[in-house]
Structures are given as C-alpha cells and as structure tokens.
Amino acid sequence: MPDPKKPRPAFAPWDRRELPGSFTVEETARRVGNYKWIEMRLFEALGGWVATVPELDVKMRLGTHCYKHAWHSELWHKRLPELREMNPDRLTVPANDTIVEFIEAMTEPEGEDKTLEKLVGVYRVLIPHKIAAYTYHLNNTSSITDAPTMRSLRLALNDEFEDWRDGEMLIQSIVDGEDDIRRAAEHQAKLEIIMHRAGGIAGPGSIGTEAPLSVEASA
C-alpha cells in the first residue's frame, strides 16, 4: 500500500507542466495593455477604411474584421483588472514611440487607389506580427496561474489566422501585374523596417529575442 505521508509530485505523471510561466504579473499586464492598444488602433483603421475603399468585396471583409479587433480589445480590457489592481487606462499604451510611428505609416495611404497598400500593411505586416507575439505569449505562460489569458490568446489567434487568410486572398485578387507586385513589396518593406525597430507589437522581447521593457518604461 502506498505511504499516504510520502510527498508526491504536484501533478500527475503524464502532466509535466511547470507552475511558473515566463512572465511576472507586471509583465503580463504590460503586454496585455500593449495588445489592447494595438487592437483599438486596428479597429479604428479598418472601420475608417470601410467608408473610403471603393472595392465592395474589400469593404465587406474590412467591416467584418474590424469588429473582431474591437472584441479583442474588450477581451484585453477585461483581463487588466484581473491581472493587477491597476487602472486599465494607464496600461493601455503603445509599447514605445516606434510602434506609434508604425501605426501612422500603416494608416497613411488614404487615396482610393491605395487599397493595396492598406491591405499589405494590415495583412502582410501587422497581423503576422500579432500572431507571432500572441503565440509566443501563449507558449510561455502558465496554464495554472494564467489560464484566462491563455484562453483569450487562443480566441484572438483563431480570428487572426482567419483574417490573415482572408486578407492575403484579397491582396492576391487585387494585384494586377509586376508594378503592383513591386508596390506591395516596397510598402511591406517600409513597414517591416519600422516594426523591426519597434521590436514587435509589445516592444523588444515581443517574441523573446530581447529583454522586455518594464511596466514603468512603457507607461
């Protein structure tokens, strides 16, 4: 008979998870605040473009996608008070000034002939970087101590992958010849350079390649 007083591992033999994740509560709150900020900016951008892009099929997709990002913003807003007894508005900030520069550059194309640039900025640059940051966060947090954030990440990622597919199909349907291919590549490169300087949507360390900023530094 097993000795009931003998110490046993915290988890079943098939469950080898570790209790602590890679992030402190403060770091998780900082990241979630950055996520909320970027989702709000994307919602605003797509919603504004619905009224200006001439292509009906693009209007319809942007209209559908923008409300997903509004919902993601609400998800992150609800997580902030649970993560820390802090004012959510204080944490709803861009990771750094360069990510603000990125959003400005992404939303700069305004003419009716700039639909391709609009789509490239969102679906070939921003959303792939969001997917990378969300996936890194999901894979490096604890299912014991931060399960609600993991659920929010999975819900958001499901939408991001669907929208990424839709956006890429729209881009491919709009591209008409070598000039459009060059336009798309040049605009993507311009935005990727800014995003690289920003370090990702949550700043340096968005996918773990550099030490993340502190809450105080990002506020």
- 118: confidence class by pLDDT, cuts 50, 70, 90: very high
Q: How far apart are CA 89 and CA 200, in angstroms?
A: 21
- 91: confidence class by pLDDT, cuts 50, 70, 90: confident
pTM for the predicted model, two decimal places: 0.85
Q: How far apart are CA 164 and CA 68, in angstroms?
A: 13
Q: Is the per-residue pLDDT at 214 higher than 50?
A: no
Q: Is the per-residue pLDDT at 94 higher than 50?
A: yes
Does residue 218 fall inside a structural domain? no
The boundaries of the domain holding residue 154 are: 25-203
36 touches 80 (CB < 8 A): yes
Higher pLDDT, residue 93 or 142: 93
155-164's contacts with Cβ under 8 Å and 24+ in sequence apart are 155/75, 156/35, 156/72, 156/75, 157/131, 159/68, 159/72, 160/127, 160/130, 160/131, 160/134, 161/131, 163/65, 163/68, 163/123, 163/127, 164/123, 164/127, 164/128, 164/131
- 25: confidence class by pLDDT, cuts 50, 70, 90: confident
Does residue 17 fall inside a structural domain? no
Neighbours of 124 (CB within 10 A): 19
Average pLDDT, the chain: 88
Does residue 73 fall inside a structural domain? yes
Domains in the chain: how many in total? 1
- 217: confidence class by pLDDT, cuts 50, 70, 90: very low
Does residue 147 fall inside a structural domain? yes
Does residue 208 fall inside a structural domain? no
- 11: confidence class by pLDDT, cuts 50, 70, 90: low
- 131: confidence class by pLDDT, cuts 50, 70, 90: very high
Higher pLDDT, residue 166 or 83: 166
- 18: confidence class by pLDDT, cuts 50, 70, 90: low
Task: Supply the CATH number for residue 122's domain.
Answer: 1.20.1260.10
Look at residue 6 in the predicted model and tell me its pLDDT: 76
Does residue 217 fall inside a structural domain? no
- 85: confidence class by pLDDT, cuts 50, 70, 90: low
